[in-house]
Amino acid sequence: MSENRTRRSGGRAARQAMRAAPLTEDTRPIRAGMEGGTYKPLSDADVLKIHEAALKALETIGMADAPPSGVEILTKAGAILGEDGRLRFPRSVVEDALAVAAKKVTLYSRDGKNDLELYGNRVHYGTAGAAVNMVDVEKNEYRECYVQDLYDAAKIVDRLDNVHFFQRPMVCRDIPDNYEMDLNTIYASCSGTTKHVGTSFTEPDFVPGAFEMIYEIAGGEDKYRERPFICNTNCFVVPPMKFATESCEVMEHCIRGGMPILLLSAGMAGATAPSTIAGAIAQATAECLAGLVYVNAVAPGHPAIIGTWPFGLDLRTGAMSVGSGEQALLSAGSAQMHKFYGLPGGAAAGASDAKMPDMQAGWEQMCSNVMSGLSGMNMVYEAAGMHASLLGFCFESLILADDLIGQAMRCVRGIEVSDETLALDQIADVCLNGPGHFLGTDQTLSRMQTDHVYPTLGDRTSPKEWAENDKPDLIEKAIKMKNEFLSEKSNASLDPQIDAAIREKFAIHLKAQ
């Protein structure tokens, strides 16, 4: 009896050690860029109706408030400037832009280890947003965001396998000068992670200085243009159907500087977009198609991501409802439109209206993350850490999202059906020759790592084991992991000489780490 108990204990210890060991890329059950696309909330006929509505909106309503440079660029591409100042887009102009637009975009990482290939139904999850508050779970309160918080968020993302990119999720409220804030956003992000970074610019005049810093980080303009590891998140429209004048000028500068563009349309369904899901998607599609014409009129084939980001609204109060089922449908339906055009695309999902990482946050974050992943969204933005309808960002929630997104990605991977996975030979062997169960069989052991995703912080113990382990608390475990991550030196720290040169040229607010 003792011998059997020892054998079982040794086998269990060996299996635990195997699970704890880092998996090689080819044995991981989930990874960035897995294929989604199995969930389609819109029928083919629905997609065509939305497409036709978008084209009609561009042809008959058009877009207002383009900057003078944009008017010149777009009229040369075939848009028509009306007496009312609105630019209208004949169907042929949109079709011409679609013909030359980039169908595959690579968002590069700085070290080459986390490049993102955007096309088809390949799915990637990451952060985004402009939160003005940090969620302090230990004090159960909110406070303003600082540049140190942005750097810390980037450091944490750099350590999370299932958060694939770092788009700035918060605003540095301790830097009142907008130019310095834009520069420090880039500096803090790149000092914290080598994963792809997304950022925005407050004014067009700020872009040249930012590029000077970016080229410095890259080791030269040519090296950045070869592998642009930062993209411009550009809110080029003010819904409904108006260009954001200064953002369009920013976009022109970024295109000429070699920076990929996220064309972001963020209408509020019921406020700045129709309250219906179909109408909000149609308007966002029209606005992003106008942006696509704009980008390709400046530089045909320039890397651009269609960012249809329609947001939900609680019509009882006028508050955002980013954690709603409607939001999940808005994003998943948007993904179908990206696929219809064959263009790289992204939308917002995974954010919560909850103020803390509680049960409400869990169901809201998982709902839209799963649906967007299953729909084949190339870039799932705001997928981790975002609370309070985009007003708050939470480190602990960011860390917990690594487990949450891991389970969502397992859903994206789906069910493989083959002679091997149907396992009739195993069933026969176990039933006719074996012990009557599949525990410990060679097939079970050989697939336990490649087929199954195990949570890092999630608890699957029995109540008895949980009690024996001193009743571990999920948030406390996330706090502990956060402190461990933040106590270690960043893997993305800039070369000391480059860092010194940047600090000499620019007003860097982040203390040397």
Neighbour tally for 342: CB within 10 Å: 13
Among residues 264, 317, 322, 319, which one has the least CA distance to residue 295? 264
Residue 12 has pLDDT above 70, yes or no: no
Confidence band of 442 (pLDDT split at 50, 70, 90): confident
| 154 in a structural domain | yes
pLDDT value of position 186: 98
| 384 in a structural domain | yes
| 324 in a structural domain | yes
| 469 in a structural domain | no
CA distances from 454 to 26, 72, 374, 467, 500 (A): 17, 55, 20, 21, 42
Residue 8 has pLDDT above 90, yes or no: no
| pLDDT, mean of residues 342-360 | 98
3 state SS of 95:
helix
Number of domains in the chain: 1
Confidence band of 337 (pLDDT split at 50, 70, 90): very high
| pLDDT, mean of residues 364-372 | 98
Residue type, 128: A
Question: What single-letter DSSP state applies at residue 234?
Answer: E
For the segment 274-329, what is each residue's pLDDT rounded down to a tens digit? 999 999 999 999 999 999 999 999 999 999 999 999 999 999 999 999 999 999 99
pLDDT value of position 446: 87
From the centroid of its chain, how far is CA 202? 21
Confidence band of 440 (pLDDT split at 50, 70, 90): confident
Q: Which residues contact 7 (CB under 8 A, 6 or more apart)?
A: none
pLDDT value of position 15: 58
| pLDDT, mean of residues 158-166 | 98
Residue type, 198: G
Residue 456 has pLDDT above 60, yes or no: yes
pLDDT value of position 285: 98
pLDDT value of position 5: 46
| 131 in a structural domain | yes
How big is the chain by its Cα radius of gyration, in Å? 24
DSSP 374-387: HTT-SEEET-SSEE
For the segment 13-44, what is each residue's pLDDT rounded down to a tens digit? 665 666 566 677 777 899 999 999 999 999 99
| 365 in a structural domain | yes
Residue 240: is the preceding peptide bond cis (ω within 30°)?
A: yes
| 72 in a structural domain | no
Residue 107 has pLDDT above 50, yes or no: yes
Confidence band of 4 (pLDDT split at 50, 70, 90): very low
Q: Could you tell me if 163 and 127 are in contact, meaning their C-beta atoms sit under 8 angstroms apart? A: yes
Among residues 24, 97, 127, 88, which one has the least CA distance to residue 382? 127
Q: Could you tell me if 202 and 229 are in contact, meaning their C-beta atoms sit under 8 angstroms apart? A: no
The mean of the pLDDT values for the chain is: 95
Residue type, 235: C
For the segment 400-410, what is each residue's pLDDT rounded down to a tens digit? 999 999 999 99
CATH value at residue 293: 3.20.20.480
| 144 in a structural domain | yes
Among residues 172, 105, 510, which one has the least CA distance to residue 346? 105
Rounded percentage of the chain residues whose pLDDT exceeds 70: 96
For the segment 134-149, what is each residue's pLDDT rounded down to a tens digit? 999 999 999 999 999 9
DSSP 400-452: HHHHHHHHHHHHHH----SHHHH-HHHHHHHHHTS-SS-TT-HHHHHHTTTS-
| pLDDT, mean of residues 49-58 | 98
| pLDDT, mean of residues 205-211 | 98
3 state SS of 228:
coil
pLDDT value of position 10: 56
For β-strands 122-127 and 379-381, DSSP reports them as parallel
Domain that holds residue 370: 98-413
Residue type, 492: A
Q: Angle CA(377)–CA(492)–CA(348) in degrees, nearest 5?
A: 20
| pLDDT, mean of residues 439-454 | 89
pLDDT value of position 202: 96
For the segment 481-510, what is each residue's pLDDT rounded down to a tens digit? 999 999 999 999 999 999 999 999 999 999
